[in-house]
Amino acid sequence: MRDTTLNLVAISIFSVTMLALVGPMVELSPAIPAGLIVGLLGAATLDQLGLNGRVGNILLDWLAWTSPEHRQRVIHHEAGHFLVATLLDIPVQDYTLSTWQAWKRGLPGQGGVVFDIASLGDELQSGVSAQTINRYSQVWMAGIAAEQLLYGASTGGNDDCQKLRVLWQALGRSPESAQVQQRWAILQAKTLLENHQNAYQGLCEAMAKAAPVVDCQALLANQIEAPSVAAREAPSQG
């Protein structure tokens, strides 16, 4: 099972076990906790096999979303992706802030900003340019950069790092150079966010209110005078 499903099962079984211990004090039949455990294990198995652990992710994400700090982290993380993608002229197609929102819209994963990666796919077939690699690297690392700027460290971004690793593997480049590229991209994304603080804060406020993509894009268009240069001096890649 996935970690999220296992965590949910562990929490549920602990809760039911405590209920079983307290049960005799309130004249609760032992069959009720036992039935709950069987039902929870069956639901977890069905979720894992039939839904790829999605229900477990939704429930854990819902619990995390009750924390104001978690909500702010997610919003600032995703706004970082959105802003840097706009600055580097990579179209944003959609965004969600939770697993539940992503599921409702038929999107994979646990939510986030959805980019147009068609140009990247096309270039991978014919030969991807260094400029394209640098642009997408900065966009993928922008969420981590945003969290580091605000909190000093990031708790999200594992999926973003995995995307960069997958690209590096497809290009036949070393894992060591992927780490160099990742660090470089985080620094560049931080610079972009720091240089557009007003636009970034306005975008965070808009996304917190679940503003449509077109409204977020209009907000940024009013505050960004011209697109930033996408290609900067990048570390040597090998």
Q: Write the CATH number of the domain with boundaries 67-223.
A: 1.20.58.760
Q: Contacts from 182-186 at CB under 8 Å and sequence distance 24+? A: 182/137, 182/141, 184/137, 184/234, 184/235, 185/134, 185/137, 185/138, 185/140, 185/141, 186/141, 186/144, 186/145, 186/148
Instruction: Please name the residue that has the structure tokens 């593997």.
Output: 169
Which range is least confidently modeled, 73-82, 142-151, 167-176, 205-214? 167-176
105's tokens: 């819209």
The sign one gets for the Cα dihedral 87, 90, 91, 96 is negative
Which range is least confidently modeled, 71-85, 135-149, 162-176? 162-176
55's tokens: 């229900």
Residue bearing the bigger pLDDT, 68 or 179: 179
189's tokens: 């994304």
Q: Which pLDDT does position 49 carry in this prediction?
A: 44
Confidence tier at 3 by pLDDT (50, 70, 90): very low
Q: Which pLDDT does position 4 carry in this prediction?
A: 46
Summarize pLDDT for 92-127 with one digit per residue, the tens.
999 988 777 776 777 666 678 998 877 777 777 777
% of the chain with per-residue pLDDT over 70? 63
Domain regions of the chain by residue span: 3-64, 67-223
pTM for the model: 0.72
Residue bearing the bigger pLDDT, 46 or 218: 218
Confidence tier at 170 by pLDDT (50, 70, 90): confident
Summarize pLDDT for 175-219 with one digit per residue, the tens.
899 999 999 999 999 999 999 999 999 999 999 999 999 999 999
In 3D space, the residue among 231, 228, 150, 217 whose CA is nearest the CA of residue 195 turns out to be: 228
